Structure 1
Amino acid sequence: MSINKRAELYIWLLLYSVHLIFTCEAARIIELSDRFLEYKDKDVWLVKFYAPWCNHCKRLEPVWSQVAQKLVNTDVRVARLDCNKYTSLAQHFRVGGFPTILYINKDKVVDYQGERLLSPILEFVRRVHGPSIKKFSNCEDMRKILDSGDRDNRQASFVLATHPEGHGEAGELVKNFTEHAEHMYAYNYFIDVPIHCVDESKDHSWIYVHKDGAFVPYNSEKYQLLDQFIISERFPAFQRITYANFRQILATRKMLVAAVLEENQIGRLDTMRMEEVRDMLEALAENTKELYHDKFLFGWFPSTEIPYSIAMTELRLPSVIVVDPETYKYYLSSSADDPEDIIKLLDAIDKADPLPPSFGGNTLPYRIYRSYFDVSQNLKNMYRSSPVLTFVIFLIPTAFFAAICYLTCCSDFLESSDEDEDELEEEDDDHEKTD
């Protein structure tokens, strides 16, 4: 290698090293202190509130580093705050659990309620950064938003298609759309685009939902209020179901048809059969939208915690479960692999002539037993993951409690023995005096 080429190589390596240093420096997570309130209004922040002893916080740490790297060239600063050290700040932002992720832009504070994974966190930042309604004059810019998100985290988007001559008879509807966007934009996109991007046949502005690759107009006869439309239509035909969205899915008041599956530690389904069941149920959801859309919502559980809690027992894997959001009763398909069997079950539930056998519920006895079952499952999972730690955690308090009980009982016994001895001595003295 010639001297010139060698020198060029050294210079290139030096420049690349400097680039890496500055990139890593820029991507560093900012450690906040109690002075945060003094300078928080100067920037836009994405803050993780954590506690050093919190295992969920520790599991989030590598994801948080990836978030910082992805947002390095944006005006959103990624930070974290130790709530053990700075309890006053945790109280100021009303942090009720760990980890808590907040988007903070001056007086606007938005609580992240999604999964603690890279893709949904970044999608959340894109939604809440800027105005609650994203306004586009270009249809292509709208398409980029509508097509964003991966397979498991794609959400419905609500679109205000604006007519150039004004809103016309949709004036009040547009006002309601703006109000709902202020409350819901942390979960779904709210977009304002020209009417020709959606439907050129309309002679006034209108509202649509975009999901599963299609625009569906708001039906004022079917939904008397706009919020009913938004709540009912905010999820696609097939949805990944976790604690982050489970309650919101039940709020649609649609029966939940879900595959009970389990992911491994690297986020993949345990078996090929589970993948086949998920793909089959997704295809069933897509192909039966016209038939079941109004009553059923399809999805899949990536872990067993929620379905086991609903059933209050361990289900076979994979399974297909149908949950009534009102009563918490559930129905089980006899086969998780056969779409015909699932369709028969859904038809029987829909027609209710007669209803198939159901299990569980949400009455007081079931709620009490469910609480007991959840605690026992948590203890079992804790023991499976770390038997030694579980043993130590429960052994020390048990031994401490036993020691307290023992000392309390023994002290009473010893005191009573001492009193008896004193009484005997007094009696002996009395006898001696009498003699």
Structure 2
Amino acid sequence: MRGERTVTSPFPGCSAHSGKMAGARAAIVCGALTAALLSPVVLAFVEDLDDKFKDNRMDDVWLVDFYAPWCGYCKKLEPIWYEVGAELKNSGSPVRVGKMDATAYSGVASEFGVRGYPTIKLLKGELAYNYKGPRTKDDIIEFANRVAGPAVRSLPSRQMFEHVQKRHDVLFVYVGGESLLKEKYIDVASELIVYTYFFSASEDVLPEPLTLPELPSVVVFKDGTYFTYDEYEDGSLSSWVNRERFQGYLQIDGFTLYELGETGKLVAIAVIDDKDPTEESARLKSLIQKVSSEYRDDFNRDFQFGHMNGSDYINSLIMGEVSVPSIIILNTSNEQYFLPSEPVESLEQLILFIRSVLDGTAQAYGGDGVFQRIKRVAYDARSTVMSVFRSSPLLGCFLFGLPLGVISLMCYGICMAESDDGAEDMEMMKREGLTDEEEEEEEEEERRHQTAKLERPGEEDEEEEEEGDEEVEEKSPVEKKLD
């Protein structure tokens, strides 16, 4: 039931699976106008990088935007990127901000694993971290400051611990002194710092009611309580951190769902409409919340719970229609989804549905088979075409009408050529049906006719008319005797 594929990324970008064409064109215009209004001082905080950057980058921490000049989403990011550069510079951050034309320096971009545009990377020594969050100034700056700092931050006092806990919904803390577990923790932090912060503290820094079964320990604080890592029950530390880096219950959007795909968990979602709240929506949402809290020990390893506002994103994933409100379970690793066989009226029914998905008895829909991939291509193509026509009918007619017209002319030319070839073939077949003697007589007759035409050019039409009359008017026997 688990595959290696992840759900389609919701981040727009220019690549083999680029975003909608109309949106890209609009982004180019919007980005160009905004960039033109930026002051030269703001522009100066972002450095234009070339192929020499690869050799000179090791002494600094760099936040780099790899872009393509023709990419609409790159144009849309451009003014935001200049704001990021100015903000980091003014705040005293050690992070230097740059941008590189990945089409002009494709060799450098390829070495950094750039496959689409725009690609944002933070380069820190030998390490390169990909940014996968929303392309807003605040989110990018928060990512840069988190990744640029130490992988594990120290909490020297209880006041600092309480301050940090208020700022983070999920908080990972290593408690204890030097140990093999701490070395593993630092390695995991270096790998997963793109997603969350990691801290360390001594036992006396923790709140007084909190007691740990043993030291050293790795603890995650979330959902109003805490959970301790157990190597025997939880597997590798990296896997455990990856599973626990979200709250037990979330409001899920496209970005969150994409990140949840990397945890390997199934996602149980109450699809509701916040703009039109109903009792049924509130009831389904409440059921999902109860399962996430009261059945954590049963399902936390395999399920993530939450709700999503509206069904548009879900519909695009399953290439179908989901009613609102309803409950759906997504397997983001292989693009399967599960729907209850009957309306969920109670907590017990929801538990049975979740267990049936877990043990493989529930009906699975979708998937990543060949048929589904073909269906996905057709669905994406149709969605793109419809989006273009909705946003700009004239542009849609030009983009799709012109190629269809050219193809129609080509087909017409091919058909006419085949018709001419058919006439020539009929003539050849007619000739092939004659015997050698008949063919020689026909050629001799043709030569005599041509000679006569040359000798009597003026009488040609008259002779042809007379010959025609002789063929059409057949004489009677009496007329032949008189002649």
In which range does the TM-score fall when normalised by the shorter chain? Answer: 0.7 to 0.9
Which position in structure 2 is the counterpart of 1:362? 367
Q: 2:390 aligns with which of 379, 384, 390?
A: 384
SS of 1:102's equivalent in the other structure is strand
Separation in 2, partners of 1:302, 1:312: 18
Give 5+ residue unaligned stretches, structure 2: 1-37, 432-438, 450-483
Larger Rg: 2
Q: Is the 8 A contact 1:46 1:104 kept in 2?
A: yes
Same amino acid, percent of matched pairs: 25
Question: Residues 158 and 342 from structure 1, CA distance in 2 versus in 1: closer, same or farther, beyond 3 angstroms?
Answer: farther
Q: 2:205 is matched by which residue type in structure 1?
A: C
Question: Residues 200 and 27 from structure 1, CA distance in 2 versus in 1: closer, same or farther, beyond 3 angstroms?
Answer: farther
Which position in structure 2 is the counterpart of 1:56? 73
Q: 2:141 is matched by which residue type in structure 1?
A: L
Q: Is the 8 A contact 1:139 1:193 kept in 2?
A: no
Q: 2:201 aligns with which of 183, 190, 193?
A: 193
* Shift in Å, 1:132: 2.4
Which position in structure 2 is the counterpart of 1:67? 84
Q: 2:201 is matched by which residue type in structure 1?
A: V
Q: 2:69 is matched by which residue type in structure 1?
A: P
Q: 1:299 aligns with which of 299, 306, 317?
A: 306
Which position in structure 2 is the counterpart of 1:5? none
Q: 1:49 is matched by which residue type in structure 2?
A: F
Which position in structure 1 is the counterpart of 2:245? 234
- How high is the TM-score relative to the length of structure 1? 0.73
Q: Equivalences for 1:3-152 in 2 at 5 Å?
A: 24-25=41-42, 28-72=45-89, 73=91, 74-148=93-167
**Cα deviation code 1:133-157 (max 9, x no counterpart):** 22343444455554446xxxx5x34
Give 5+ residue unaligned stretches, structure 1: 1-20, 263-268
Question: Residues 140 and 392 from structure 1, CA distance in 2 versus in 1: closer, same or farther, beyond 3 angstroms?
Answer: farther
Q: 1:312 is matched by which residue type in structure 2?
A: M
Separation in 2, partners of 1:298, 1:33: 45
Separation in 1, partners of 2:150, 2:223: 25
Which position in structure 1 is the counterpart of 2:175? 161
**Cα deviation code 1:83-126 (max 9, x no counterpart):** 23333332232210111101123432111122223343223212
Separation in 2, partners of 1:316, 1:31: 49
Separation in 1, partners of 2:346, 2:52: 57
- How high is the TM-score relative to the length of structure 2? 0.67
Q: 2:293 is matched by which residue type in structure 1?
A: K
SS of 1:405's equivalent in the other structure is helix
Question: Residues 351 and 242 from structure 1, CA distance in 2 versus in 1: closer, same or farther, beyond 3 angstroms?
Answer: closer
SS of 1:313's equivalent in the other structure is coil
Check if 1:208 corresponds to 2:219: yes
Separation in 2, partners of 1:195, 1:329: 44
SS of 2:58's equivalent in the other structure is helix
SS of 2:322's equivalent in the other structure is coil
* Shift in Å, 1:383: 3.0
29-38 or 279-288, larger mean C-alpha shift: 279-288
Which position in structure 2 is the counterpart of 1:222? 233
Q: 2:58 is matched by which residue type in structure 1?
A: D
Larger relative contact order, structure 1 or 2 (CA cutoff 8 Å, min sep 6): 2
Question: Residues 77 and 312 from structure 1, CA distance in 2 versus in 1: closer, same or farther, beyond 3 angstroms?
Answer: same
Separation in 1, partners of 2:360, 2:424: 72
Which position in structure 2 is the counterpart of 1:308? 315
Separation in 2, partners of 1:259, 1:210: 25
Q: Is the 8 A contact 1:348 1:355 kept in 2?
A: no
180-189 or 368-377, larger mean C-alpha shift: 368-377
Separation in 2, partners of 1:332, 1:69: 51
Question: Residues 317 and 280 from structure 1, CA distance in 2 versus in 1: closer, same or farther, beyond 3 angstroms?
Answer: closer
Q: Is the 8 A contact 2:73 2:117 kept in 1?
A: yes
Which position in structure 2 is the counterpart of 1:180? 188
SS of 2:204's equivalent in the other structure is helix
Q: Is the 8 A contact 1:132 1:181 kept in 2?
A: yes
Q: Is the 8 A contact 1:311 1:330 kept in 2?
A: no
**Cα deviation code 1:373-392 (max 9, x no counterpart):** 34333433343333333332
